[in-house]
Chains A and B, each alone.
Chain A
């Protein structure tokens, strides 16, 4: 069995990029320190359609390390130091064991680069409530809705945000008849679900949904199988593909029955970061990352970078290294993060999702970065992507911060109150269990 990372022990990386000479000159004491835990897991190397792209062994951590470096450059001037310690859940290891170590060491700021399953397990652990977790990797809408928690923040756009971004673009292009092809994986079904939701939201017609199964025939005869598979009695504009692991989506282009545009998880993809992204100063982040990591920045790197930078920004602005002050600032109204996407990034108070433009990228060109002009919103156009407050079945982060959720008129209030009471009931049960 191949394992992505050979080292199965929690290994410690202590980074102190602050120049000590400088500290000695200017400060009487050591700079104040913010300690962050980075939690990831070993994974089996996934099967892939081709070996074109090397498997990334250090995804996420490189982004976190770069952000620590950025934070420490700023820290020189604010007398703050940022440290990162890396923890890994071994391949057959237990989330609980590793998390216990994190808690025992006193970490309260945790960056999680975990699979859906592991994040779910982490969420259920009793000590989870006392910390602030930055989910750098998942895109599941469940964490943003039904199983949301006030101390769980999401750095990646959810599936709903991604498919809404695609929908906005195609509505603008008036390519509003879609055929969906869905893979067999649970993630594919969730992506397809997000596509259906977006189609409904933006008035897009789905003429059919087809299921791609990995039978021998299908895999071996892409050239002959795909045309028949994509043939439809009604013409459609876009072939939307839901294949998150990339097991068949690439087969669809140029092999379809009619000349067809592909979008979704392949073709025109909706992503939080892409190597074609150069606008709004992004080229500087791309350059710094490549110099450090020797490869292009991946989505999980960007997620981890955002998380560590969010902590850095809060520590700088609140002029504190204390957990409660950092958290309060982070979830408060004044917090904004510059994420190289031309807009200020903030957290949605109702579900901890980081508001952000979603990049729509072709292989070698950035096509658009929705939200697009013309898709209006009463408070923040970034909230035209994904679950808006009235739709959210999640409560709010109110109890942690004392900051009221952003309430709007009419329906929004009623809906969010319902959501809030649901969440409150859940929390009460949880507290009872804990007692």
Chain B
């Protein structure tokens, strides 16, 4: 399997030689930004496309054709490029966030879905679900530098803002694997509830939040001890427990509120991040999956896979203000200031 991936690495390397990333970043930094508040990018899994939405007005500006079955999406640290996992093309595309051109391919290994960027913006950590591995990519050289064996079906992946940890959650092993970015080896494991999906660190790197889709719970893990300190359950009047399947997580900078997408229950849970009490359930589109903040954390964007739209939540009032039709199977979301 390793051999197979390495083969792909070289192929992608060849492709990307045409577009040295460094030059592009330089180019973008001198380009003039538009006057808009923020631009929201949404991957459309079934349309093989990227929807571009104006965050302030909620207008769908454009739909761009990209690779096959786009899912995970992350904005680069300098906002010049988008990294998009195009699962059926077995690569992560680098897309210029101004011209929307594909400018490179990263050797992600097979069927990339979710991935995380390290705080320095230099490495990507990619979950390879079929191979039970995490691929570590050096962005500048566009090379896979390591494959780390993890549990069965790794999915959720996150890097701690202080740069000390990379965590990978494996769906069938039901564990969070703690990878030390210095050694790129697993240092510890935490058992969590069945089918962990997403993982997110608090901004102070003291807590890790992990959602478990099948158990319908959210585990809050103390980073220092790597032990679960709180398990949060969800109950929505009139909605059966079976429908409550926590997926995407976002926690605000001050750790005042945490937001968890609850999948087919069509709600986003608002959690008091100090007391861990669930304050509210906000009704959004169908099968809400991933979440992203606006730059000043005034708004939250949600991708709703079944209703083919995104919802915009006003975070001051905790109210859903708008839903915007974007295309088939909106999966991931990234925001450019």
Contact = CB atoms under 8 A, between A and B. Distances in A.
Interface stretch (B17-25, B90-98, B188-196, B326-334): B188-196
Given A338-B195, A381-B242, A74 B151 contact: yes
Interface in B110-138: 129-130, 132
Nearest to B242: A343
Contacts of B47: none
A316 B153 CA distance: 17
From DSSP, what is the main secondary structure of chain A's interface residues?
helix
Given A287-B130, A344-B214, A344-B215, A337 B194 contact: yes
A343 B214 contact: yes
Contacts of B174: 74, 313, 316, 338
A73 B215 contact: no
Interface string B227-249: 00000000000001010010000
A317 to B, nearest CB: 7
A70 interface: yes
A261 to B, nearest CB: 26
A77 B174 CA distance: 11
A70 B214 contact: no
B172 interface: yes
A77 B175 contact: yes
Interface of B: 129-130, 132, 149, 151-153, 170-175, 177, 186, 189, 191, 193-195, 214-216, 240, 242, 245, 264
List of 7 A-B pairs having minimum Cβ-Cβ separation, nearest first:
A74-B173, A77-B189, A338-B195, A338-B194, A338-B214, A344-B214, A70-B152
A382 B242 CA distance: 9
30 contacts: A74-B152, A74-B170, A74-B172, A74-B173, A74-B175, A77-B151, A77-B173, A281-B153, A281-B195, A284-B129, A284-B153, A309-B172, A313-B174, A317-B191, A336-B193, A336-B214, A338-B172, A338-B174, A338-B194, A338-B195, A338-B214, A342-B214, A342-B242, A342-B245, A342-B264, A343-B214, A344-B194, A344-B215, A381-B240, A381-B242
Nearest to A288: B130
Given A76-B149, A77-B151, A77-B173, 14 more contacts: A70-B173, A78-B191, A281-B153, A281-B171, A281-B195, A284-B129, A288-B130, A317-B191, A336-B193, A338-B174, A342-B214, A344-B194, A344-B216, A382-B242
Contacts of B177: 77
A337 B214 CA distance: 9
Nearest to A70: B152
Nearest to B243: A373
Interface in A324-376: 336-338, 342-344
A287 B264 CA distance: 25
Given A317-B191, A344-B215, A284 B130 contact: yes
Contacts of B132: 73
Nearest to B240: A381
Nearest to A357: B242
Contacts of B175: 74, 77
Interface in A33-78: 70, 73-74, 76-78
A235 B319 CA distance: 52
Contacts of A317: 191
Contacts of B186: 77
Nearest to A73: B152
B196 to A, nearest CB: 10
Nearest to B191: A316
A287 B132 CA distance: 13
A16 B1 CA distance: 19
A254 to B, nearest CB: 32
